[in-house]
Structure 1
Amino acid sequence: MPSNRPDLLPETARALRHRLATAQVSARAPSVVAAVVRDGGPVWVEGWGDVDGVTPGGDVQYRIGSITKTFVTVLVLRLRDEGRLALTDRLDEHLPGTAIGDATIGALLAHTAGLAAEPPGPWWERSPGSLRPSPADVLPDDPRVFTPGDRFHYSNPGFAVLGALVERLRGEEWTAVLAREILEPLGMTRTGVRPSAPHASGYAVHPWADVLLPEPVQDYGPMGPAGELWSTADDLCRFAVFLLDGDERVLGAESRALLRFPSSAPEATVWHSSYGLGTQLLRRGDRLLSGHTGSVPGFVATVWVSPDDGLGAVLLANTTAGLPAGTVTADLLDVVAEREPRIPAPWTPLAEVDPAVLDLAGPWYWGPAPHVLRPTADGGLDLGPLTSGGGRGARFRPAGDGAWVGLNGYFAGERLTVQRDPQGVVTHLDVGTFVFTRHPYDPAAPIPGGLDGSSWQAAPSKEA
């Protein structure tokens, strides 16, 4: 993949290089490589420091730790798309014999099943996977530290169990499923559970002296789905493009959208970070990033995407601690977004539109609150309030039976149906029981609770 495209401004490339270099120097990381993605591919790839005496490029492998969890999530969502499971299913419906059979698959993906953060035994990332030879061995005797659903609590064993779930339903190792269903379609030829040259060695950096300690490279065994993968900046760019633009060969648009929205309660009312299904979410001003950070002994990594900016950024380094990979990667996104803001594609009229759908376009009212409904180029609908604080909106996709299903916001998963009178005339829209009418509290529509009076009226006159 090219290191730099001509359309990246020189001053932007220099600002990116400066941020990368200062991060490597301040963290005293042996090496770091990063990239920025825009318009379907990398526009900047650069390394700082060295791997075996050479400045690393986009083809050098690093271990990516918990970014592995996002790949496992895509495998689980593919099973959902195929109808093999539902996110509300109990685990024991598909993987019997664990101590957490009552946990739902969705809760495991969102880290809300109340499970312990780590498996029993010594530090699993620095010890042989043979110490935990089966999926049952990744769970402590008392696997729950919180009541399920009470709060978000990050759990590595939870994703080890999800990897076992994939293996059970596919009938083969999760790594083989990963290669066939994600890596091969996306062209990620340098991603896998074993390193191959050129690859970085992992190090711990002494806190008070500029010396290194090699970190062991372990086979994680059943804990592999929690963080075993190796990858490159080039390959993670391909994954970032998938997260931004999608690929129907890998995952449907509806399931991919689940990666971008919070699936667990944030720690504060006004949240700055949260968790979706197998993805971390981060607010940066008005920007909402999704992706995942990764950390195992000897390595840190991050992939972030900003859909509104059409940008992605990745970073990999071979140091155990000291380099805030998530923050630096987000900084790289900020550099490009602020210096080279996204230029919108030209407006073009719809290539075709169903006349019945076109008749629905225009203003609708939820009670007195004005909304507007617009057909979209992908055959869906966009419903949104016309005034701030004036109501709820969402995008909808066709359900195939004349209705639409919400993709985001309050109405995510809810159905929009067109209601007609006996003569076939549209009277109102039913959106998850919310009634939208062509006029505010239209008396021709079945307004919930009825109307007090037959028409709008001025305020009663006041007697002197």
Structure 2
Amino acid sequence: MTALLPTTARALLHRLAVAQAEGRAPSVVAGTVRDGALAWSAARSADGADGAGVERAYRIGSITKTFTAVLVLQLRDEGALALTDPLADHVPGVGGHATLLQLLAHAGGLTSELPGAWWERVPGPDADGLLGALADEPPRLEAGARLHYSNVGFALLGEVVARRCGAPWEQVLEERLLRPLGLQRTGPAPVGPSAAGWAVHPHADVLLPEPSAATGAMAPAGELWSTVGDLARWGAFLAGDTGDVLDPATLEEMRQPAAVDDGDSWTTAWGLGLQLVRAGGRRLVGHGGSMPGFLAGLLVEPATGDGAVALTNATAGVPVARLTQDLLATMADLEPALPRPWRPAAVPADLLALTGTWYWGPAAFTLAVEGVDRLRLTPLEAGGGRSSRFRPAADGGWTGLDNYYAGERLRVVRDATGAVSHLDLATFVLTREPYAPADVVPGGVDPRGWHRPG
């Protein structure tokens, strides 16, 4: 564990204690992540088991969806499916026109909940029961029209995973994510000591036990149990420490906004299976979760690698999303993360030769190398153009990672001698001089060149 200063740890404990007391929760456990590891953890509970409490497993509800999403993206990277595939191509008879990508971003238009009994409190159906319940259930909205959170959508994504892998979702999860990442206490059932779920009476300090039924085919939407320690490792994964489990470029893709809650100046949005939050000048990714008797929250800041997790065994009362944000902000404010040390890189000479100033017409851009094989295109004039990052493509060019040119191709065009003539960025031509050489500029260049009219 990366140790924090005693003053920072005391401030974090105070925030946790306030959440437990004001939320009237049987217990609340929390932790923060720094440098890829658990930096602080603590528990506050009504039974006084604070020391051992942090080791308890809790249901994490919809944080489960982040695991399901990573499984889908793994299969996409392996060529087993495409995100543009209609769901019906993999699970016939359901989903209308929704694509896998739309389901990942909660924009598929499907019903939010499974028809029938309240699925979180009763034993869930098997796959046939799930599909039977949805067979005559029309979409609630046109696919792609707007954000509409859907637990059913992620249950169906779990079925896609199971069918493409030829094994139950739980088995695929264990083999592809839990075991490789060492998440030994995360799974469909608690491993080791666990917390019981409770409802707290709204007008009296008494409790009611909540049921803890297995959710069946709805499991990929919210079944998992986990601990502060395991979720700290998962938080480090979502912050960028993907190891050999997922291509970092794929994780970056998952963290881009695909559907927003509140318009252009969004504070909450959805990527591919991930919730995105803007808070306190920070851009965070993660997910919240709830099941009867439990609330959970996990947020990380990819820019620094810092993160926070909070778990409670109460159906309501503890604002877990706010708690995780506050823990993250407290650690960052009192003990800012040190920037990663700069180190020189072994940049190939042909890539180094592409760096410097390029012009799209009269507009100037800088092309720089990030690491050893990424490119960043940045306008020199503030507000004067579009910036994007690019990763290598199989054909020798580059593919846009973000912003306007996400997914677009950047090609280096050479002349007959092999020298670089210009760059082709989604048909836009970038040259070393404004509108020169003239013979590569679409539409040509006035033969008089740059001059004073009149």
TM-score bracket, normalised by the shorter chain, equals: over 0.9
How many residues are treated as equivalent by the alignment? 454
> In structure 2, which of residues 87, 99, 103 is the aligned counterpart of residue 104 of structure 1?
99
Match of 2:347 in 1: 353
Task: Go from structure 1 to structure 2 and tell me whether the alpha carbon gap of 1:95 and 1:382 turns closer, same or farther (over 3 Å shift).
Answer: same
Which residue identity is paired with 1:301? A
Whether the aligned pair in 2 keeps the contact of 1:428 and 1:445 (CA below 8 Å) is no
Match of 1:437 in 2: 431
Once the two structures are superposed, the pairs formed by residues 3-14 of structure 1 within 5 Å of their partners are 5-6=2-3, 8-14=4-10
Superposed CA RMSD in Å reads 1.9
> In structure 2, which of residues 230, 234, 255 is the aligned counterpart of residue 239 of structure 1?
234
Match of 1:281 in 2: 276
TM-score by length of 1: 0.93
Task: Go from structure 1 to structure 2 and tell me whether the alpha carbon gap of 1:428 and 1:200 turns closer, same or farther (over 3 Å shift).
Answer: same
Measured in 2, the distance between the counterparts of 1:257 and 1:182 equals 18
> In structure 2, which of residues 247, 250, 256 is the aligned counterpart of residue 261 of structure 1?
256
Match of 1:344 in 2: 339
Q: For 1:261-315, what per-residue CA distance to the aligned partner results, in whole angstroms no more than 9, with x for missing partners?
A: 1112443221110000001000013211011000111000011110112211111
Match of 2:324 in 1: 329
Match of 1:383 in 2: 377
> In structure 2, which of residues 116, 120, 130 is the aligned counterpart of residue 125 of structure 1?
120
- Cα deviation for residue 453 of structure 1 reads 5.8
- Cα deviation for residue 197 of structure 1 reads 3.3
Match of 1:33 in 2: 29
> In structure 2, which of residues 289, 296, 302 is the aligned counterpart of residue 294 of structure 1?
289
- Cα deviation for residue 454 of structure 1 reads 3.3
Measured in 2, the distance between the counterparts of 1:411 and 1:272 equals 23
Q: Secondary structure at the match of 1:238?
A: helix
Measured in 2, the distance between the counterparts of 1:321 and 1:266 equals 22
Q: Secondary structure at the match of 1:190?
A: coil
Match of 1:415 in 2: 409
Which residue identity is paired with 2:177? I
Q: For 1:355-377, what per-residue CA distance to the aligned partner results, in whole angstroms no more than 9, with x for missing partners?
A: 21111111112222221111222
Bigger drift between 169-178 and 396-405 goes to 396-405
Q: Give yes or no for the alignment of 1:78 onto 2:78.
A: no
- Cα deviation for residue 416 of structure 1 reads 0.9
Measured in 2, the distance between the counterparts of 1:454 and 1:14 equals 72
Measured in 2, the distance between the counterparts of 1:176 and 1:52 equals 37
Q: Give yes or no for the alignment of 1:144 onto 2:139.
A: yes
Q: For 1:160-214, what per-residue CA distance to the aligned partner results, in whole angstroms no more than 9, with x for missing partners?
A: 1111111111111100110110001111000111123310011111111111111
Measured in 1, the distance between the counterparts of 2:91 and 2:125 equals 21
- Cα deviation for residue 402 of structure 1 reads 1.7
- Cα deviation for residue 407 of structure 1 reads 1.4
Q: Which runs of 5+ in 2 are unaligned?
A: none
Q: Give yes or no for the alignment of 1:88 onto 2:59.
A: no
Measured in 1, the distance between the counterparts of 2:211 and 2:430 equals 62
Task: Go from structure 1 to structure 2 and tell me whether the alpha carbon gap of 1:130 and 1:136 turns closer, same or farther (over 3 Å shift).
Answer: closer
Measured in 2, the distance between the counterparts of 1:262 and 1:67 equals 18
- Cα deviation for residue 54 of structure 1 reads 4.9
Which residue identity is paired with 1:109? L
Which residue identity is paired with 2:149? Y
Task: Go from structure 1 to structure 2 and tell me whether the alpha carbon gap of 1:130 and 1:90 turns closer, same or farther (over 3 Å shift).
Answer: closer
Task: Go from structure 1 to structure 2 and tell me whether the alpha carbon gap of 1:162 and 1:455 turns closer, same or farther (over 3 Å shift).
Answer: same
Measured in 2, the distance between the counterparts of 1:131 and 1:68 equals 18
Once the two structures are superposed, the pairs formed by residues 141-220 of structure 1 within 5 Å of their partners are 141-220=136-215
Whether the aligned pair in 2 keeps the contact of 1:309 and 1:337 (CA below 8 Å) is no
Q: Which runs of 5+ in 1 are unaligned?
A: none
Once the two structures are superposed, the pairs formed by residues 54-73 of structure 1 within 5 Å of their partners are 54-73=50-69
Measured in 2, the distance between the counterparts of 1:286 and 1:55 equals 34
- Cα deviation for residue 445 of structure 1 reads 5.3
Task: Go from structure 1 to structure 2 and tell me whether the alpha carbon gap of 1:448 and 1:322 turns closer, same or farther (over 3 Å shift).
Answer: farther
Whether the aligned pair in 2 keeps the contact of 1:443 and 1:451 (CA below 8 Å) is no
TM-score by length of 2: 0.95
Whether the aligned pair in 2 keeps the contact of 1:72 and 1:163 (CA below 8 Å) is yes
Q: Secondary structure at the match of 1:310?
A: coil
> In structure 1, which of residues 401, 405, 425 is the aligned counterpart of residue 419 of structure 2?
425
Whether the aligned pair in 2 keeps the contact of 1:206 and 1:212 (CA below 8 Å) is yes
Q: Secondary structure at the match of 1:136?
A: helix
Match of 2:397 in 1: 403
Which residue identity is paired with 1:407? L
> Percent of aligned positions with the same letter in both sequences?
51
Measured in 1, the distance between the counterparts of 2:248 and 2:49 equals 43
Bigger drift between 226-235 and 48-57 goes to 48-57
Q: For 1:206-252, what per-residue CA distance to the aligned partner results, in whole angstroms no more than 9, with x for missing partners?
A: 11111111100011111111101000000001101111133242111
Which residue identity is paired with 1:191? T
Task: Go from structure 1 to structure 2 and tell me whether the alpha carbon gap of 1:433 and 1:44 turns closer, same or farther (over 3 Å shift).
Answer: same
Whether the aligned pair in 2 keeps the contact of 1:191 and 1:229 (CA below 8 Å) is yes
Whether the aligned pair in 1 keeps the contact of 2:96 and 2:139 (CA below 8 Å) is no
Measured in 2, the distance between the counterparts of 1:56 and 1:368 equals 65
Measured in 2, the distance between the counterparts of 1:21 and 1:453 equals 75
Measured in 1, the distance between the counterparts of 2:48 and 2:250 equals 41
Measured in 2, the distance between the counterparts of 1:338 and 1:456 equals 53
Measured in 2, the distance between the counterparts of 1:77 and 1:373 equals 30
Q: Secondary structure at the match of 1:125?
A: coil
Measured in 2, the distance between the counterparts of 1:159 and 1:143 equals 17
Q: Secondary structure at the match of 2:365?
A: strand
Whether the aligned pair in 2 keeps the contact of 1:32 and 1:56 (CA below 8 Å) is no
Q: For 1:80-117, what per-residue CA distance to the aligned partner results, in whole angstroms no more than 9, with x for missing partners?
A: 01100000011222222x32253211111111111111
